[in-house]
Structure 1
Amino acid sequence: MLKVGLQLYTVREEMEADFEGTLKRVAELGYQGVEFHTFFGRSSEEVQKLLTENGLVALGTHISYDRMLTTLDEEIVYNREIGNKNLIIPYLGEEQRNWSEVFNNLKQIGAKCREQGAVLLYHNHEFELTESYGEHAVFDAMYAEVPADQLQVEMDTCWVYYGGYDPVAYIAKYAGRLPIIHLKDMKTLPDGTAKTVELGKGEVKLEAISNAANEAGVEWIVVEQDYCENPPLESIATSMEWIKNYAKNGGSVHV
């Protein structure tokens, strides 16, 4: 059964204004785990206490590529103290996309994570699908170049879709290497750009993706909405309602 988490970047302004209250509300809505992108100056002891009080699991943390290169030991220790083993690179700026260098660095970071009981994952956007490395999309080249024991997949299924590929096929392709997916919906605007929306409000085939994730052995589906037109806490409540309806209709998700 799939477990349901939230990428807290979705409620970043709320977290900054009321870290404790926002985590409480996330738990009340039915999310079982959270994926951090920053801790807003809280100690690992403070964060761990809040997670325990609210019955939440730290399922992962997004950590910048630069910090992975320079302060990895510190990141591993902090995350271990809050009960998280999954360290995730969230994004690479254009100036960082020297892919040969990136792949070599991922091998080193991933090996160091493994030695210390952590797991390195990479979270994609659309450019890993639209840019090439040799004869392959960067997405596929990355996971071909870096061994599975050094790098796991956090697949953002919305950006796979926006990049022109079938998320269901990609989930099946990376089964066994895919502990976490991001479940995200979007609408394509007239200028061709993507607008992220609440689950069920857009064009992404969420049920098919969720079914494929369950079949592929994914542990966590993580809701993320990059930008919300509605108040973010309302948006994540709406997305949770979609998940609950999916579960009522036979979806393999624990809510």
Structure 2
Amino acid sequence: PKEAARLAQDNGLTIAATHVAWDRFLNDLDAVIEEHLVYKCVHPAIGSLPGEYRGADGVKRFVDELGPIAEKLAQAGMDFSYHNHSHEFARYGDKTMMDMLYEWADPSLLKFELDVYWVQHGGADPALWVRKCAGREPLLHLKDMRITPQREQRYAEVGEGNLNWEAILAAAREGGVEWYLVEQDQCYDRDPFESLAISYRNLRAMGLT
């Protein structure tokens, strides 16, 4: 952690958020907090839950376990965010897992790090979910979805695909998003730094500064 913090500082970077495995939050929370104090990062997040937490019983278990963890993070000046993929939009009866997380967890304890690509991939409306999570989404993951003539869904630079960025960014501004994090899983034949530059230029052109 100290080396990562030094490298970030030396290069003028802020560690806005991290992803930490759920078992570390459960079993190694003091060390997680100490690491984030070193990073000067107040937004630890989980990238996904283990498979046994899927479905209504799993979400209830997660919410119960989260309470004391989020409270201890808050005492250290931190919050807890959940990063989605598309499986959270699978339906269990009349609700998706994402509905359950949103409705059953205390808003003061569970924040969201929505990934707009994966919301779209799950068949939901990214702008609607960004608006829905207003006030509890300090972090937003941005990447575009491009559809190929072969009907493939591919990751793309922001503004180079099919997502409705005007609606997404308007909802994000209204919802109090603090950090817009470009996170493109694959750049295919393009250099990742070139992909990042394209997303950055397009976001600037969309009015994000």
Instruction: Give me the TM-score of the superposition, normalised by structure 1.
Output: 0.74
**Separation (CA, whole Å) in 2 of partners of 1:65 and 1:107:** 13
The correspondence for 1:72, drawn from 29, 33, 36, is 29
- 1:60 equivalent among 17, 20, 27: 17
Q: 2:88 and 2:149 mapped to 1: Cα distance?
A: 23
Identity of aligned residues (%): 36
The reply to whether residue 243 of structure 1 matches residue 209 of structure 2 is no
Q: Residue 172 of structure 1 aligns with which residue? A: 131
Is the partner of 1:147 in helix, strand or coil?
coil
Q: 1:234 is paired with a residue of what secondary structure?
A: helix
- Deviations 1:81-124, CA, capped at 9 Å, x for gaps: 11101110001243443222222222232122122222110000
What's the RMSD between the two structures over aligned residues? 2.0
CA distance, structure 2, for counterparts of residue 181 and residue 193 of structure 1: 24
Deviates more, 1:184-193 or 1:69-78: 184-193
| 1:107 aligned to which of 64, 67, 92 | 67
- Residue deviations 1:53-96, cap 9 Å, x none? 22221111111112222212101111111110111000124344
Counterpart for residue 80 of structure 2 = 120
The whole-number CA distance in structure 1 between the counterparts of 2:187 and 2:109 is 34
Structure 1 CA distance for aligned equivalents of residues 80 and 127 of structure 2: 23
Q: 2: distance between equivalents of 1:115 and 1:145?
A: 22
Deviation track 1:166-223 (CA, whole Å, cap 9, x = no partner) reads 1111111111111111111012467876321111221111232112101211111110
Q: Do structure 1's residue 159 and structure 2's residue 118 form an aligned pair?
A: yes
Asked whether 1:225 is paired with 2:184, we answer: yes
1:1-255 correspondence runs (5 A)? 43-44=1-2, 46-97=3-54, 98-132=58-92, 135-188=94-147, 194-229=153-188, 230-246=190-206, 251=207, 253-254=208-209
The CA distance in 2 between the partners of 1:242 and 1:116, in whole Å, is 36
Partner secondary structure for residue 187 of structure 1: strand
In structure 2, the CA distance between the partners of 1:99 and 1:191, relative to structure 1 (3 Å rule), is: farther
Change over 3 Å in CA distance of 1:177–1:184 after alignment to 2: same
Deviates more, 1:123-132 or 1:101-110: 101-110
Structure 2, unpaired ranges of 5+: none
Amino acid at match of 2:105: V
TM-score, normalised with respect to structure 2: 0.89
CA separation in 1, counterparts of 2:78 and 2:152? 36
Q: Which residue of 2 aligns with 1:29?
A: none
Deviations, residues 10-34 of structure 1 (Å, cap 9, x unaligned) = xxxxxxxxxxxxxxxxxxxxxxxxx
Distance in 1 of aligned mates of 2:86 and 2:126: 12
Instruction: Note the residue ranges of structure 1 that are not aligned, 5 or more in a row.
Output: 1-42
Structure showing greater relative contact order (alpha-carbon pairs closer than 8 Å, 6 or more residues apart): 1
